[in-house]
Structure formats: structure tokens, C-alpha cells
Amino acid sequence: MLELLNIKREVEKLSNILGKAEGCLNLPELSAKIQYLDQVTAQPDFWNNPTPAYETLQEIEYSIFYKHQQYQRWCSILEDIKAALELLELSADEQLLQEAQTNLTQLQQELETAEIRQLLSDPHDQKGAFLTITAEVDGVDAEYWAYMLLRMYCKWGESHSYKILLVEESCGDFAGIKFASLEIIGRYAYGCLKSETGTHQLQQISPFDVTNRLQTSLASVEVIPILAESVEWEIPEKDLEITLLRPQGNVNRPEIWVRVFHIPTGISVFCNQERSQMQNKEKALAILKSKLFAMPTAGYAYALAQGVELDKIQPRLIESLSNKLIREYILHPYTKVKDLRTNVETLAATEVLDGKIDFFIKAYLQQLNHTTSMTQEALDNSK
């Protein structure tokens, strides 16, 4: 009976959330927008310009699925749970109870994800993300901690149905990784994961120390948006130094890595995970363009357009965000994970390291939106 009562309480909360969501969706306006976009795609010259055409198709897919069909699906799941509760009040059924709990958990997670996405308003938030993890110092403990973070973000991405590609990896000398870069493909990957940029600190008994000493390890995380194809600018060739490994040794397993170095800023990108050297070169250049476009100097492309001297763009500015300590993970003498920006914490450290980080993401975005709103209000009042 207690389980039924808890489920009923959660169902009531979710009903209220969906009621509010219906008002936010404005379904009649959404249907009209879908009809308009359908008319646009029907035009004979629609594919004359492929890039905006593709973006229009993405907008249709998002409007129909994530906003329209998804809402109707949530309502259907909620009705199924309510129907199951009515049957369970008449007769106990362990299988039906388990099904109701599973549906409830699924609905809670999807609504939590939708609530997070409501906090994402920056144009870059809808993009995919490049995520790079770097062990802060040489040593097996730091390198293993970097690997633990890599696993955490892979688990998070898998649980949200993102496509995850390993772009670059340098293995540690004994265990773990020195650094690794992931390409996380899917809508809103960057908007969610931008909260993870910074230094992450782990405190635990070292699994590699026979004396069982307490060890503190650091790893930095950098997250940048995947640059859309619609952003049309090129990096001048004179600013690039591209290193291609010439074929040698085992011809059956040739090395095809590519390193791209941006001379004005000192940014270097290495790529070795694609099937050909040409693909690795294209991927490395795409990552470099994304890094430059996301720079704190309002972006490399903007700097070029405004005639900013490139030697004014300092590499240290790029590293400043990832050097800031943002989160502590404590596994000994007790378990706790605390975000130092929002003060949100949990004792469920194992769950966090298994990729359950949405509540940290949500708290950061809420704080960010609140700060942005206050800044805008102060600017409006000063006019």
C-alpha cells in the first residue's frame, strides 16, 4: 500500500507538470508552425541551398517529435499509470506494479530532461558537443581519474540516446588516460554539458598504492559546441601548421593520424580515430574551428571580421574556464559529490560516476539563467 501511495503522489506531481507544459507548448500555434514549415519544404527551390534546407528539416523534426508527439506520448504514459493504479487498488499484482513503477521512472526522467532543455536559450545550446578530458598531472591516479570521468560522460550520453564518438585518446602509462576527446552528437548536448567545463577533483584511497594512502587527483574538462556547417568562414592557411604522418612500417596497419596547430593562438588538435588520414584532417579542422569560434574573445571569426590582431588572442584565456575547480568527488573517508558553484551535493557518489549528473546540470543552468536575468534587469534599470 505504501508503494501505491508513493506512486500516486508522484503521478499527481507529473500531472501538474504536464498541465503546465501544455500551456507552454501552445499546441495550436505549434500545429500552425508545422504546417508552415511543410509548405516551405514543398517549394521547388527548397534544396537549392542545402544548408538552410537541412536546418529547416531539423526544425520540423524537433517541432513534431520533441514538442508535439512527445507531449502526447507523455500523456499516454501517465494515463497508463493511472489505469494500472486503479487495477492495483482492486487486486494486488506484482507484475503490474513493477510495470507502473518502470513507466513512472521513465516519465520522470524524460520530463526532467525536458525541464532542463527549457533552460537552454543560447543559440549554441542546441548543438552537439566536443568534450575533452585531461589528467592535470602525470601519474597513474590522475590518469585513472580522467578515465573515470570519461566513463561517466559516456554513461550520461548513452542514457540520453546521444551518439558518442571517440575522436582522440592518449592512454596512461599504467592505467587510465592522459587525455581523451569525445564527439557527442545530438540536439542540446552542448547546452547540457557546458556545465561540466572546469576542473574536477577526486579524493579516494589510491587503488595503486600498497600503503593505501589517501590521494587527491585532478582532471580538467573542456566542452565546446560542434560548429554548424552554416557558419561559413575558413581559417587562413598561413595560420595553420598541419602534420601528416607519412606511411611507414606495417603497411597493413598504417598510421593515419593528423595534428593541426593554429599558430596565432597555440591551439593544437590531434585526431587519429577516423578511417582515413583525410577524414582525420577534416575532423581535426572541424574541432579547431569550433574551439576558435567559442573563444572568450567573442570568437575567432568575429575577430577576423573586426580586424582584431591575432596576437591579442591569448591561449591562456581559452584555458581559464577549464582551470577553475568546479566539483569535488569524495570517496573516502565518506562518499559525497559537491558542486562548488551551486553548492548542490549528494551522497550517491557511485550513481554520479555512473552518469547520473542531470541534477547538477539543472542546478547550474538555473543559476546561470538567474544570474543572466538579474544582469539584464540591472542593465534595463540603468537606461
The grid coordinates of residue 226 equal 560542434
DSSP string of 336-347, one letter each residue = EEEETTT--EES
Q: Is the pLDDT confidence value at 318 over 50? A: no
Cα separation, 124 vs 129, whole angstroms:
10
Greatest mean pLDDT among 43-52, 70-79, 319-328 lies in 70-79
Cα separation, 107 vs 347, whole angstroms:
24
pLDDT of amino acid 308? 47
Q: How many CA atoms lie within 13 A of 215 on its CB side?
A: 19
Neighbours of 126 (CB within 10 A): 20
CB neighbours of 16 closer than 8 A, spacing ≥ 6?
Answer: none
Do residues 358 and 231 make contact, with C-beta atoms less than 8 angstroms apart? no
pLDDT of amino acid 168? 84
Greatest mean pLDDT among 107-111, 240-244, 302-306, 364-368 lies in 364-368
Q: Is the pLDDT confidence value at 240 over 80? A: yes
Q: What is the pLDDT of residues 24-72, one digit of tens each?
A: 555 667 677 777 777 888 888 887 776 567 667 766 666 665 667 777 8
The grid coordinates of residue 286 equal 572541424
β-pairing, 198-205 vs 325-330, is parallel
pLDDT of amino acid 379? 47
Specify the 3-state DSSP secondary structure of 132: strand
- Would you give the DSSP letter of residue 227? P
Q: How many CA atoms lie within 13 A of 378 on its CB side?
A: 6
pLDDT band at 214 (very low <50, low <70, confident <90, very high): very high
pLDDT band at 273 (very low <50, low <70, confident <90, very high): confident
Q: Is the pLDDT confidence value at 2 over 90? A: no
pLDDT band at 315 (very low <50, low <70, confident <90, very high): very low
DSSP string of 38-82, one letter each residue = HHHHTSTTGGGSHHHHHHHHHHHHIIIIIIIIHHHHHHHHHHHHH
Cα separation, 20 vs 115, whole angstroms:
11
Question: Among 231-245, 264-278, 311-325, which is the least confidently predicted range?
Answer: 311-325
pLDDT (average), residues 366-374: 77
pLDDT of amino acid 317? 44
pLDDT (average), residues 111-139: 86
- Would you give the DSSP letter of residue 381? H
E-only strand ranges, 77-139 = 129-135
Q: How many CA atoms lie within 13 A of 53 on its CB side?
A: 10
pTM for this model (two decimals): 0.74
- Would you give the DSSP letter of residue 89? H
Phi first, then psi, for residue 173 (nearest 5°) are -70, -35
Buried b / exposed e over 316-332, threshold 16 CB at 10 Å, is eebeebbeeebbbbbbe
Question: Among 120-124, 176-180, 230-234, 350-354, which is the least confidently predicted range?
Answer: 230-234
Q: Write down how long the chain is.
A: 383
Neighbours of 180 (CB within 10 A): 23
- 252 by Cβ neighbours in 10 Å (0-12 / 13-18 / 19+) ranks as exposed
CB neighbours of 75 closer than 8 A, spacing ≥ 6?
Answer: 18
pLDDT band at 229 (very low <50, low <70, confident <90, very high): low
Cα 194–chain centre separation: 6
